A and B are shown apart, each in its own frame.
Chain A
Amino acid sequence: MFASKRLQKELAKLHEKLPPGITLIRADDFSEWLMDIRVIDSNPLYQGEVYRLKFNFSQSYPIEAPEVVFVRDESHPIPWHPHVYSNGIICLDLLDRQGWSPVHNVESICVSLQSMLTSNTKKERPPGDENFVRYNTQRPRDINFVFHDKNV
């Protein structure tokens, strides 16, 4: 398939120029990349923090969406957001099977997540976070999220 060729081209572009607040951390192969994002404006929820995203690509990327999650380590917390579970799983329509479009790319996903955080004012987790985090065994891309509101 064309996944590796397309990712090669995306990588070349990412090396050239990235929007403010987005950094390429690791892209050693064409199956897993790490990107860092931080919120640029003065939203107090996210000040001084940097979040790490892990992208996993299938052979069918970009026909299939990549799997994107926040990952936690000593210097990277999981951001507060009513659509981000405390284990890093993100509920965003463009990452969902139905909402994905092959014209999206790594950069546009980072920008979307960045603006999803920027516009948020609630220091909240999704309803049922504790149960979900404890009992979910599905891979993020196999979960059928119910989207409660369309404007986030």
Chain B
Amino acid sequence: MPPGNEYAAEQLKNQGNAHFKNGEYEAAETLYSQAIQKNSKNPLLFTNRANARLKLEKWEGVIDDCIRSIELMKENMKAFFYLAQAQLSINHPNEALSSALMAYDLCTHSAQQTSNAATISALVLKCKKAKWDIRERERIRRRADLLAELEATLETEYKKDVDDIEARIEKQEVGRIEGQEEKEERKKEFEKKRDDLRTAFTLSDPEHLQKREVPDYLVDGITFEIMHDPVVTKNGRSYERATIIEHLKRSATDPLTREPLTIAELRPNIALKEACTEFMEQNSGWVYDCEDGEMDRDSRWAHLSSW
């Protein structure tokens, strides 16, 4: 690399950041690209461009940038965070989830980045929800196919019976009125069978039977939401890691006892975490009530956007 290029790249990056701040993402992307031409060894240039491309919804570009950035720097929370969002947008929730979990892991293991925990943990939930949605759609489609096939069989049988009766009326084997009565009866029988079949399908759907309530012991006492990374305090109560950290940053006390408590004293509650995971897997989509686009309105998101 010729001397001075590193400096030139830094200048271009700063210009790019200024455009990014003003919401001029096209211009920011161009400047970051020029910076990368000057210096392709700086992982931050790639994550900055990934962020601009994220805003421009250039998903493939985001993925390329994140992968290149991770190649240059392994412990790269931002790159995994952007990567997860792009993967989620192109409907690859499995990959998105593992990227989001990487970001979350890096975030909770680094002392200075804990403020991002809540944002990343929201993304993890979103990925899990997307994964569940796909499975659920597939399950509903399979059930619907089977139901449609069985209903069609019933209907074919019913039509055949009706045709038989008509033929016998034609041949004067039965009287017209008698035949009509028989047809009415067949129709009622068919409708009853079809309704029973539909009822059976409805009843066998676990979604209709589940009690839609998260047990209190899986709920974070601060957000009132189900936990996915519970940590336990000295007095034995568990909270969601991201929210208790928010509290401890303001006041280093146990929320319940007011005794001194620091972030370093929190311990993961592994068994409870497994209970939460299991509950979410079994109770599926309704647990996640995070709406689409919610993350982007999050004010804490802003500080991740530019450097």
Report Cα–Cα, A74/B251, bound state, in Å: 40
Interface contact B223-A103, CB-CB below 8 Å? no
Report Cα–Cα, A103/B289, bound state, in Å: 21
Interface contact A62-B222, CB-CB below 8 Å? yes
Among candidates B243, B289, B299, B300, residue contacting A102 with C-beta atoms closer than 8 Å: B243
Interface contact B225-A63, CB-CB below 8 Å? no
| A121 adjacent to chain B (CB < 8 Å) | no
| B178 adjacent to chain A (CB < 8 Å) | no
Q: Looking across the interface, which residue of chain B has its beta carbon closest to that of A64?
A: B250
Interface contact A9-B247, CB-CB below 8 Å? no
Interface contact B250-A63, CB-CB below 8 Å? yes
Number of chain B interface residues as a range: 10 to 19
| A42 adjacent to chain B (CB < 8 Å) | no
| B298 adjacent to chain A (CB < 8 Å) | yes
Among candidates A10, A63, A97, residue contacting B224 with C-beta atoms closer than 8 Å: A10
| B221 adjacent to chain A (CB < 8 Å) | yes
Report Cα–Cα, A2/B243, bound state, in Å: 9
For B224, B246, B253, B299, the residue with the greatest tally of chain A CB atoms inside 10 Å of its CB is B224
Interface contact B258-A63, CB-CB below 8 Å? no
A residues 8-29 touching B (CB-CB < 8 Å): 9-10
| B256 adjacent to chain A (CB < 8 Å) | yes
A147 to chain B minimum Cβ distance, whole angstroms, is 14
Q: A62-B222, A101-B258, A103-B256 are in contact. List 4 more A-B contacts (CB 8 A).
A: A63-B243, A63-B247, A102-B243, A102-B255
Q: List 10 A-B contacts (CB under 8 A).
A: A5-B223, A9-B224, A9-B225, A63-B246, A64-B250, A98-B251, A101-B255, A101-B258, A102-B221, A102-B222
Please give me the 8 A-B residue pairs with the lowest Cβ-Cβ distance, nearest first. Answer: A9-B224, A101-B255, A102-B222, A103-B255, A2-B223, A103-B221, A63-B246, A102-B247
